[in-house]
Structure 1
Amino acid sequence: MLFNSFFFLFVFLPVAFVGTYALGRWRQDAAKVALTLFSLGFYAWWKPEHLPLLLGSIVFNYVVGGIIQRTYDAGRHRAVKLWLVFGVLADVLLLGWFKYANFVFDNVNAVLDTQYSLGRIALPLAISFFTFQKIAYLIDSARGEAKRMRFLDFALFAAFFPQLIAGPIVHYQEIVPQLRNRLWGRLIARNVMVGLVILAIGLFKKTVIADTLSSYANPLFDAEAGGQHFGLAGGWLAAITYTLQLYFDFSGYSDMAIGLGRMFGVKLPLNFHSPLRASSIIDYWRRWHMTLQRFIVAYIFQPLSLPLNRRAMEYGLKGWSAFAMGIALPTFITFVVIGIWHGAGWTFVAFGVMHAVYICVNEAWRERRKQRRKFLKKKGITLTDPGMMERAAYHVLTLLAVAYANVMFRARSVGDAVDIWSGMSGLRGAILDVPFDLGLAATILLGTLIIMFAPNTQQIMRRFDPAYNWRDWRDVAPARLDWTWKPNLPGLLFAGAALFLGIAFIQRGQGIFLYFNF
């Protein structure tokens, strides 16, 4: 079931909303049961045969998490590690089987010229997201950060439909205390108002901007895959159109998830915060799919980086040798994992490698500036911060890096991506090989102006503390145009127009959210 569908907006959401709050007036647990069942129904709408997989994951991780928590409380730390390894390994194997088994066997057959076959294994919806959430829960339990709770609370935490399909990847301490709050399940007009406005903005981004761009980006990439080779104009049009489509598609989804959560009295963490305003690739990743990046850093990068840094000290490594072992190596591994997480294909592997190289170069540049700052400080010279022109150059370089990587992310094959890069790089000449389209030009202009100048959704709604961790990000990436929403006539007209246009554009067709594929 899509957030941007008539059935969801006019049937499922009103029924779930009324049912949850009507039962909440009687008893909080009844509201939790209702919302959990609605969430499971939301998931089963796609393919009912995959619902047992989600239910099995919920039950398994609740049981294992409970054992880890009891073992932790008893001080049996060795047993905690054993149960943690068991639980995480089971989750990873489940994800690996459904998402990567066909890919592995296909490549084994290609290399060994064999005919091993597993049949086509259907990828269950959202398996990457709900698996990572469960892994985070098990690790948090082993660290003493997730406490024992009733199965009802855990089931709602694990299945809550606004964040189930494509994130954000949430932690115990962010959501469960809210579900235990005595006010949860009670209808609070402020939450409904704020959530509905955020939902309207996200719907507008998805249906008006992202889906419009999709209708142009898909034919461009299909044409390339079909043998048409673009020149400079065609290559850059494909790259820019898809980059903006991906941006507004995921931004719209993230807004809608936060808005829906708020309507049901739950503040979800931010997952998107104007990443194309970033002036470095490191900052870009801090603000793109923020909860995935947080998960990867906490549970992959840091566990790799800390022992490697200790090993570098033991070996007496200094300077760039220590940097290579303690920072570059774990960074490279981390971003290759991010690439593979997005999908089973060589384009995703290459996408991960590209961003791994970007991040390593960015880290090396920061290390060089830090060393130079120390050197000049000894001489009594202060290294000034980058000026406006230098920051602009960093920003443009970041956008170029993102655009080239997004071509690899979208292309059907590595070869197709290389062909488009050839056009983008001018290797086929600066020919105008695509016709001018006023609708596409207007949509690109609108999207670009929003990214460059307009406040993002949480900045628009900052008066109402829009997300769980909003205070950590309220001073990051300020907009050139400063406007905050108020429940007055201009504010109501803005929300009404966004909602009306978002719904009206659904009539062209319901485009799936891109991250539903991962």
Structure 2
Amino acid sequence: MENFNLFAQLLEFDFAIPLPHILLPLALSFVTFQQIAFLVDCYKKVDIRDLQEESQELDFLDYCLFVCFFPQLIAGPIVHHKEMMPQFHTLFCKAVHCKLWENLAKGLFIFSIGFFKKVFIADSFAKWANAGFKVVENGGALNIFESWATTFSYTFQLYFDFSGYCDMAIGLGLFFGIMLPLNFNSPYKSLNISEFWRRWHITLGRFLKDYLYIPLGGNRNLKYQDSKFYEALNKLLTLRNLFLVAFLSGIWHGAGWGFIIWGVLHGSAMCVHRIYGLILERFQLQKKSFLRSKTYKVLCWILTFNFLNITWIFFRSENLQGAMNLLKGMFGIVWVELPRKIRLPKLLESIDGRNDTLIYIVLAFFVCLCWGNSIKKLEAFSPNLFNTILACAFFYLALFTLASTPYTEFIYFNF
């Protein structure tokens, strides 16, 4: 409606629709997606069949429990009825009671890691990211060091914030004997945009694939492909489907123009990557030694990570002017005079940066790329005394940090 009023003003129409300023309930989009999945699965008799095989009945209380199970209610993962209800129905089995202490220990372990990621790492980056974006959104300019530090800070804030929430959700679920699906799997290790979407917000990607991409036709749009014309048309329709899914993913995150641009960029990148793959397949280049070398993989990672780092700018900025100002600062399009003494506190003065800002960024790269993710740590976890003490140490360190820092909400609470 804001956009409609804007276009009406540009076209000099003498009317404007008053905005209702509706307060949206928390987690509305996640609850909506779960219920869409439930309704579609029931229509296709997917969930019903699975439940009937286990002699379980589907009733309204089951449905309410499925929708309102709080560990994943606010920001995911987006779960299916068939993967949750069998777990709820076996909660009072003897085998589950035998694993009570093991689940509690594992839950505390993964919850503490997620809690630590959020309040100790993500919120530390949030201070520099918020300060930098505040400057550019108000029409100011940052020097090249401040600009890149701002983008890296938000890139890692988003990573550890969402990763931390996913870990905490799994931990809370384990407290009740429920194992939630994997939703985050080291996405910054990705070598291309398709791999990134298989690792980032996995259950959202699964939802969009099952309930949007495949119904649109997926990569098998035409039944008859006896000619090159049909084959080419099928590939074009596949590109259309890839773009639409990524574009609608951007709109799902928010109604701002920044989210739309972010969705368009990711949709375009998905299409370019698919075309690149088709070219390699057409000329049978996959077996070339260079394409299998470490150098090629490093180049792919650099391209993918920098694309993500740049597109997150539109995802975060509250206005397009701020996004463009930050991009100009990153690539030296605007000149900002640097201090005479090249020292970090001076170079990063506009974003309240310190000497340890660079150390945090380097450590974040190391943790994201070289450290095993928390899910692998959970799979290898054994509920012994040492691991329990380690989990408690993470928990109390995060709790102490939380008590001494201002409140910062989870980023995905906005969606």
**Residue in structure 2 matching 1:426, options 329, 332, 342:** 332
Give me the whole-angstrom Cα distance separating, in 2, the residues matched to 1:364 and 1:312: 22
Give me the whole-angstrom Cα distance separating, in 1, the residues matched to 2:80 and 2:234: 33
Q: Alignment partner of 1:149: what SS?
A: coil
**Residue in structure 2 matching 1:337, options 243, 248, 265:** 248
Output the amino acid matched with 2:256.
Answer: G
> How far has the Cα of 1:429 moved from its partner?
5.0
Output the amino acid matched with 1:216.
Answer: W
> How far has the Cα of 1:306 moved from its partner?
4.5
> How far has the Cα of 1:312 moved from its partner?
8.2
- Residues 80-101 of structure 1, C-alpha deviation per residue, up to 9 Å, x if partnerless? xxxxxxxxxxxxxxxxxxxxxx
- Residues 312-362 of structure 1, C-alpha deviation per residue, up to 9 Å, x if partnerless? 84886256554222x211111111100000001101000000101111111
Match of residue 116 from structure 1: 17
Retained in 1: the 8 A contact 2:219–2:235?
Answer: no
Retained in 1: the 8 A contact 2:139–2:325?
Answer: no
> How far has the Cα of 1:392 moved from its partner?
0.4
Output the amino acid matched with 2:348.
Answer: V
- Superposition RMSD on alpha carbons, in Å? 2.3
Q: Which protein has greater RCO, CA pairs closer than 8 Å, 6+ apart? A: 2
Which ranges of 4 or more aligned residues in structure 1 deviate by more than 6 Å?
Answer: none
> How far has the Cα of 1:146 moved from its partner?
1.4
Per the alignment, do residues 502 and 106 of structure 1 end up closer, same or farther by CA in structure 2, a change over 3 Å counting? farther
> How far has the Cα of 1:428 moved from its partner?
2.6
What TM-score do you get using the length of structure 1 for normalisation?
Answer: 0.71
Q: Alignment partner of 1:310: what SS?
A: coil
Q: Alignment partner of 2:216: what SS?
A: helix
Give me the whole-angstrom Cα distance separating, in 1, the residues matched to 2:2 and 2:204: 23
Retained in 2: the 8 A contact 1:232–1:431?
Answer: no
Match of residue 364 from structure 2: 447
Per the alignment, do residues 431 and 331 of structure 1 end up closer, same or farther by CA in structure 2, a change over 3 Å counting? farther
> How far has the Cα of 1:305 moved from its partner?
2.6
Structure 1: tracts of 5 or more residues without a match: 1-101, 464-484
Matches within 5 A, 1:128-277: 128-147=29-48, 149-181=58-90, 183=92, 186=97, 188-277=100-189
Deviates more, 1:342-351 or 1:494-503: 494-503
Give me the whole-angstrom Cα distance separating, in 2, the residues matched to 1:257 and 1:115: 43
Output the amino acid matched with 2:270.
Answer: I
Give me the whole-angstrom Cα distance separating, in 2, the residues matched to 1:150 and 1:279: 45
Match of residue 11 from structure 1: none
Match of residue 365 from structure 1: 276
**Residue in structure 2 matching 1:386, options 286, 292, 307:** 292
Per the alignment, do residues 297 and 217 of structure 1 end up closer, same or farther by CA in structure 2, a change over 3 Å counting? same
Retained in 1: the 8 A contact 2:219–2:234?
Answer: no
Per the alignment, do residues 349 and 127 of structure 1 end up closer, same or farther by CA in structure 2, a change over 3 Å counting? same
What TM-score do you get using the length of structure 2 for normalisation?
Answer: 0.88
Give me the whole-angstrom Cα distance separating, in 1, the residues matched to 2:337 and 2:326: 14
Match of residue 417 from structure 1: 323
Match of residue 51 from structure 2: none
1:516 aligns with 2:413: yes
Instruction: Kindly tell me the number of residue pairs found equivalent between the two proteins.
Output: 389
- Residues 149-184 of structure 1, C-alpha deviation per residue, up to 9 Å, x if partnerless? 122211111100000011000001110110111536
Give me the whole-angstrom Cα distance separating, in 2, the residues matched to 1:261 and 1:103: 40
Give me the whole-angstrom Cα distance separating, in 2, the residues matched to 1:397 and 1:357: 15
1:506 aligns with 2:396: no
Match of residue 438 from structure 1: 355
Match of residue 88 from structure 1: none
State the identity %.
34
Structure 2: tracts of 5 or more residues without a match: 49-56, 339-346
